[in-house]
Amino acid sequence: MALKNLLRRKTRTLLTLLGIAIGVAAVVALGALGEGFKSGYGSMASGSNTDLLVLQRDAIDVSFSAIDQDLKPVLAGQRGVTAISEMIYTFAATDNVPYFIAYGYDPAGFAIQKFKIVAGESLAAQSNVPGGRPLLLGQAMADDLEKQVGDTFRLYGTLFRIVGIYETGAPFEDGAAVLTLEDAQVISGKPRQVNAFLLQVRPGTDIEALSQHIEKRFDKLTTTTSANFAEDQDMFKYIDAYVWGISLVAVLIGGVGVMNTIMMSVVERTREIGVLRAVGWRRREVLKMIVGESFVLSLLGGWLGVGLGLGVVRALEGTPTLSAMLPSAFSFSLYLRGMGVALGLGLVGGALPAFRASQLTPAAAMRSESSNVQIASGVRSAALRNILRQPTRTLLTVVGIAIALMAMILLGAMSAGMIDVIGGMTGGLDADLAGIEADASMDLSKIDVGEVHRLSRLPGVEEAEGFLTGYTVVGDLPFFVAFGYAPRGLAIRKFKVVEGEPLQTNHQILLGRVAADNLHKKTGDTLRLFDSSFRIVGIYETGVPMQDGGGVLTLRDAQNLFGQPHKVSFIGVWLSDPSLAEQVIATAEEKFPEISLSRAAEFTEDLSDMQMMEASTWGIAMLALIVGGLGMTNTMVMSIYERTREIGVLRALGWGRRRVLNMIVYESITLSLLGGVVGTLVGLLLGWLLNQNSIIQGFLTLKYEPALFAQAFITALLLGIVGGVYPAWRASNLQPAEALRYE
């Protein structure tokens, strides 16, 4: 019966199903990506019989952990430890893959044994490889890049030779490469450093007691079991929050669509519900019927959405980098999450319409005319007057569009804020040029200090300086950026000290105003980073959120702290004549191919990180807009159904098809622009609230640019046009005689 009732309006039901399906597909696809990432981290510790992992304390992720390799014999001598293996885990860049996973292991260690060679030879069998350093490539990545044994493979500026193809069964590893420990240390810029030690212990050993002993003896180390390794990574808190935040937007829009559809179904069947009440149906029975229809609609949309989400994931499996972050198999919890969201939409979307239907008295319902609509007197605009005939439906449609535009405004403001932050970090140097390691992510860039010195001697270069960035957890702050600068250099002048004194020597730190407030610190206090203490000699303000939420150390201290000796992350270049910029860039590219230089004003735009962030921002915004567009089309189709006879009268009085089409499209645009205005205002309000959060203030400030509002307006306009085209076409093709006979 529920399905029969829904099929009375096939177009409306189909559009609502698609809206639910897209929302559920987003939940499933993003959930799969999160699961794949967690599964990949878990695979680092599994498959090699690792019992315990040792990492750097307060590192926000294993990729940022740095431990002295010299600790290996000390850890190996702990009671109960039978074997120990070092691990490097980092990202590198190769052809068309900006975020390529690379592992480093000792070829003779136990951990590398899980990489089963299916073609070629192991690293242990390769002592001297002509044409490049030895590398093992995962089968999945070899297929994606069409590589085989004997081919060359470039990571940053280093040439490798593929000596073997391996499989582990874990996509995260099969979409990566394995290098010797020494080569991986070079690639990651961690000489004599490792990301983690993997320990095997004797059966019967009290692992918890061993963990406590290691952590007590080594202040800078923390331990985790292989089973808990992925869950203990702070990075997953942000990934989970991001996944659920984006999913929530799609779910909210889908829920509004369900409520709109069921509400219109109740309005159309008011007299029918009155008859049911008159023949003895109780309120509970009416409520169950309407909620049941909502559940059936959401269940069908859920099945479709789960299938669509899984299809999207499978389609991405051939994409390098992404394929490594997708699960090899879909967990039952993923299906359960998708269907749970769909059924939740059914419950929430059907609750209000069902309640309203159950409260109808037989007499009032029998007197009702489902075709009757409210006339908004006093409204001059014909389009606005028409869309206000059904105020509830109009309100729900405006809410759906507003949520989509709100998401677009917020994400756009975040993206602009992040670009502003990165631009402020480099532009505030007052340098003419800014540089980063070629093809590297800004978080993993590393340039040898010697290259910076040689760069400073190029013709036209007055000065070149490097600075280093690192990330850690401090106190209650989940994300703290430490900057390493030369105390007497040009670049550090951007940090305007407002309390205390400038940075002079090692073991001192300047603290940003936002960080000082969040940590309740003042000059003279000490701040502990990893296992080192620093005296706060001054408080600074730059106006750049990420800098004001962090701290400044000497370059030497930062290099030691983050295991990057003789390395810097970024370069600032001052020229004797700014007009020489292009000449210096060309010369630098020829002599230093491992460094990518840009004009300081263009540096942020050239970063692959920023380009990917902008692309993902627009992708998510488009997802929200597609769901909102379906709701718009649904509303306009229902409006035409209600006004079929009216349109027939207009056609009989001489209205042409184009005039009818223009009327409907104009109404659709008006409705969409209303939603756009509401969404923009809500986006501004939420952005203002986020900017007041002390944690957010230390990371970025949402930035609203005129171009963002122009994009929002154009998007709302296009949404109205696209959402109204099909309904307008249907209305314009109604024949007068047929329309006048319509009931």
Confidence class of residue 3 from pLDDT cuts 50, 70 and 90? low
Q: Give the pLDDT of residue 372.
A: 47
573 beta partners? 433, 464
Q: Give the pLDDT of residue 699.
A: 72
E-state strands within 319-460: 433-437, 447-448
Q: Give the pLDDT of residue 335.
A: 79
Supply the DSSP symbol for 157.
Answer: T
Q: How much of the chain, in percent, has pLDDT values that exceed 90?
A: 13
Domain count within the chain: 3
**The domain containing residue 181 runs over which residues?**
47-225
Residues 38 and 56 in one domain: no
Residues 443 and 504 in one domain: yes
Residues 118 and 163 in one domain: yes
Of 26-30, 339-343, 510-514, 734-738, give the range with the top mean pLDDT: 510-514
Q: Give the pLDDT of residue 178.
A: 92
Residues 33 and 56 in one domain: no
Domain boundary among 225, 246, 264: 225
Domain boundary among 161, 195, 225: 225
What does the angle CA 66 – CA 67 – CA 72 come to, to the nearest 5 degrees? 150
Are the beta carbons of 113 and 48 closer than 8 angstroms?
Answer: yes
Is residue 655 included in any domain, yes or no? no
Residues 188 and 66 in one domain: yes
Residues 104 and 190 in one domain: yes
* 129 SS3 class: coil
Are the beta carbons of 190 and 21 closer than 8 angstroms?
Answer: no
Half-sphere exposure of 606 (CA within 13 A, CB side): 17
Of 225-239, 418-432, 677-691, give the range with the top mean pLDDT: 677-691
pLDDT tens sequence across 187-221: 887 788 898 999 988 988 888 899 988 988 888 88
| Secondary structure tally for the chain: helices H, strands E | 26, 24
What does the angle CA 623 – CA 625 – CA 631 come to, to the nearest 5 degrees? 115
Q: Which of 410, 407, 418, 326 is nearest to 609 (CA)?
A: 418
Q: Give the pLDDT of residue 57.
A: 84
In whole angstroms, what is the distance from residue 302 CA to residue 297 CA? 9
Average pLDDT rounded to a whole number, residues 385-392: 67
Supply the DSSP symbol for 280.
Answer: T
Q: Give the pLDDT of residue 9.
A: 61
H-helix or E-strand spanning residue 731: helix 706-732
Confidence class of residue 164 from pLDDT cuts 50, 70 and 90? very high
Q: Which of 567-581, 623-637, 651-665 has the lowest mean pLDDT?
A: 623-637
Q: Which of 148, 91, 140, 162 is nearest to 319 (CA)?
A: 140
pLDDT tens sequence across 427-468: 666 788 888 888 777 777 888 898 999 998 999 999 999 999
Residues 180 and 258 in one domain: no
Q: What is the 3-state secondary structure (H, E, C) of 416-448?
A: HHHHHHHHHHHHCCCCCEEEEECCCCCCCCCEE
Of 21-35, 330-344, 662-676, give the range with the top mean pLDDT: 662-676
Is residue 581 included in any domain, yes or no? yes
Indicate whether 166 pLDDT > 90. yes
Indicate whether 370 pLDDT > 50. no
Of 78-87, 416-425, 431-440, give the range with the top mean pLDDT: 78-87
What does the angle CA 341 – CA 322 – CA 620 come to, to the nearest 5 degrees? 50
Residues 202 and 266 in one domain: no
Q: How much of the chain, in percent, has pLDDT values that exceed 70?
A: 83
Are the beta carbons of 636 and 728 closer than 8 angstroms?
Answer: yes
Is residue 489 included in any domain, yes or no? yes
Residues 281 and 144 in one domain: no
Half-sphere exposure of 510 (CA within 13 A, CB side): 31
In whole angstroms, what is the distance from residue 526 CA to residue 533 CA? 6
Is residue 385 included in any domain, yes or no? no
Residues 55 and 30 in one domain: no
Confidence class of residue 386 from pLDDT cuts 50, 70 and 90? low
Is residue 633 included in any domain, yes or no? no
Q: Which of 704, 701, 705, 703 is nearest to 547 (CA)?
A: 701
Are the beta carbons of 148 and 163 closer than 8 angstroms?
Answer: no
Report the predicted TM-score, pTM, of the whole model to 2 decimal places: 0.72
**CB-count exposure of residue 8 (10 Å: 0-12, 13-18, 19+):** exposed
Which is higher by pLDDT, 112 or 408?
112
In whole angstroms, what is the distance from residue 438 CA to residue 210 CA? 43
pLDDT tens sequence across 56-72: 888 878 888 888 898 99
Is residue 670 included in any domain, yes or no? no
Residues 465 and 582 in one domain: yes
Residues 13 and 100 in one domain: no
Indicate whether 530 pLDDT > 90. no
Indicate whether 713 pLDDT > 90. no
Place of tokens 């223009």: 662
472 beta partners? 480
Q: Which of 158, 59, 52, 182 is nearest to 563 (CA)?
A: 59
Is residue 431 included in any domain, yes or no? no
Which is higher by pLDDT, 459 or 37?
459
Is residue 492 included in any domain, yes or no? yes
Domain boundary among 530, 562, 593: 593
Q: Give the pLDDT of residue 552.
A: 93
**Cβ partners under 8 Å of residue 201, min gap 6:** 51, 52, 80, 81, 82, 207, 210
Average pLDDT rounded to a whole number, residues 595-618: 74
